[in-house]
C-alpha cells in the first residue's frame, strides 16, 4: 500500500530493476538525478549524448558513472530518437529528458513508426505527500494539456487511473474540479465534470469512482462536504484531482509544493512507457521520487 512517496523506492527495488535511458545526457541536473537513483538501487542507467561533455560534467561534479552504459550521440534529436527506440525495442523501460527541449523528446515519443504511442493523450501525473491530507493524493494534468475538452479529459483520467492501479491504489476516487459543487450551464468545468461523473455511473470508466463537480474544498475535506450537504464516496477522500485546464492544475501543483510543503513525484503517462521530465526547480528528493514513480510499476 502506497502511504508515503518513499514507498515508491521500495516498490521499485522489490521487482526486476528497470533500465532508464537518459536522452541528451549532457546535462548536469539530469546526470545528478540518475546517479542518485542508481546509487539508491532504483534503476540501471543508459546515457545517450555528447560523451566528452558528459564526462567533463561528471568530472567537475564528482559524479561516478562508471556503471552506466554510455553511447555517444551529440545531436539532441538523434539522441532522443535512439533513446525512444531503445524503449520501444524493449532494451530499456523508462525514457528521461536531458539537455533537449520537451517538444524534441515528445516528437520522438509520438513517432508513428518506432515511437511509444498508446492511443491515449500524453498527460502529466503528479503524486503528493501533503502533511495536511490523510493519504497520497494525485493530480492531473499540470504540465501537458493546456485546455482539454471532454474527450481529452476522458483520456487524461484513464491514463492516471491506470497508473494509480498499477501502483496498488485500487478503485481510485476521482474528483473532477470546478469552482462550484453544483452544475451551472454557464460554467464549462461544472458541465464537463457532471458528464464525466455520469459516464462513470454508466460504466464508461472501469476500476474507479468519478464524481463532480467539486470545488477544491469539497474534494479534500469531509467537513466541508458535510457542511455543503454533499453525499458522495469521493468527497473529502479523493485519490485523484482532475483540473479543468493547465492553469488550474499547475496552480494547485505549485501551491502544494510551496505553501503546503508537500513532497512530490511526477511522470508523463499515456505512452507505452513512463517518461520522466524533471525540472531544474525540482529538489533532489522530487527528482529521485519521480524516477522511482516511473520504476515502481510492473
Domains and CATH numbers, the chain: 7-117+272-295 (3.40.50.10950), 123-263 (3.40.718.10)
Residue whose cell numbers read 530493476: 17
This prediction has a pTM of 0.94
DSSP structural state of residue 216: H
Calpha distance 239→200 (Å, rounded):
16
Strands (E) located in the chain = 18-23, 43-49, 69-72, 94-97, 123-129, 137-140, 173-177, 209-214, 240-242, 263-269, 275-276
Calpha distance 52→57 (Å, rounded):
9
- Along the 298 residues of the chain, how does pLDDT read in single tens digits? 799 999 999 999 998 999 999 999 999 999 999 999 999 999 999 999 999 999 999 999 999 999 999 999 999 999 999 999 999 999 999 999 999 989 999 999 999 999 998 888 999 999 999 999 999 999 999 999 999 999 999 999 999 999 999 999 999 999 999 999 999 999 999 999 999 999 999 999 989 999 999 999 999 999 999 999 999 999 999 999 999 999 999 999 999 999 999 999 999 999 999 999 988 788 899 999 999 999 998 6
Main-chain dihedrals φ then ψ at residue 120, nearest 5 degrees:
-105, 165
Amino acid at each position: 500500500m502506497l502511504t508515503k512517496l518513499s514507498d515508491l523506492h521500495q516498490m521499485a527495488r522489490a521487482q526486476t530493476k528497470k533500465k532508464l535511458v537518459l536522452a541528451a545526457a549532457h546535462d548536469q541536473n539530469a546526470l545528478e538525478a540518475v546517479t542518485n537513483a542508481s546509487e539508491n538501487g532504483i534503476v540501471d542507467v543508459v546515457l545517450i549524448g555528447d560523451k566528452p561533455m558528459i564526462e567533463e560534467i561528471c568530472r567537475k561534479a564528482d559524479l561516478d558513472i562508471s556503471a552506466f552504459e554510455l553511447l555517444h550521440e551529440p545531436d539532441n534529436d538523434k539522441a532522443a530518437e535512439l533513446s525512444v527506440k531503445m524503449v520501444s525495442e524493449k532494451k530499456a523501460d523508462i525514457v528521461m529528458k536531458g539537455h533537449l527541449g520537451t517538444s524534441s523528446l515528445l516528437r520522438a515519443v509520438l513517432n508513428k513508426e518506432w515511437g511509444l504511442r498508446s492511443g491515449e493523450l500524453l498527460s502529466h501525473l503528479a503524486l503528493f505527500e501533503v502533511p495536511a491530507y490523510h493519504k497520497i493524493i494525485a493530480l492531473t494534468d499540470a504540465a501537458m494539456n493546456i485546455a482539454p475538452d471532454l474527450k481529452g479529459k476522458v483520456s487524461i483520467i484513464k491514463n492516471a487511473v491506470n497508473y494509480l492501479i498499477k501502483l496498488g491504489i485500487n478503485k481510485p476516487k476521482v474528483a473532477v474540479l470546478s469552482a462550484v459543487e453544483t452544475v451551472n450551464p454557464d460554467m464549462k468545468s461544472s458541465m464537463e465534470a457532471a458528464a464525466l461523473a455520469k459516464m462513470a455511473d454508466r460504466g464508461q470508466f472501469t476500476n474507479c469512482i468519478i464524481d463532480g463537480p467539486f470545488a477544491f474544498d469539497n474534494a479534500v475535506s469531509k467537513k466541508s462536504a458535510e457542511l455543503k450537504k454533499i453525499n458522495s464516496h469521493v468527497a473529502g477522500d479523493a485519490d485523484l484531482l482532475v483540473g479543468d485546464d493547465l492553469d488550474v492544475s499547475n496552480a494547485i501543483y505549485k501551491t502544494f509544493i510551496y505553501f503546503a510543503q508537500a513532497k512530490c513525484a511526477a511522470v508523463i503517462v499515456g505512452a507505452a512507457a513512463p517518461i520522466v521530465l524533471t525540472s531544474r526547480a525540482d529538489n533532489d528528493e522530487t527528482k529521485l521520487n519521480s524516477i522511482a514513480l516511473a520504476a515502481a510499476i510492473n
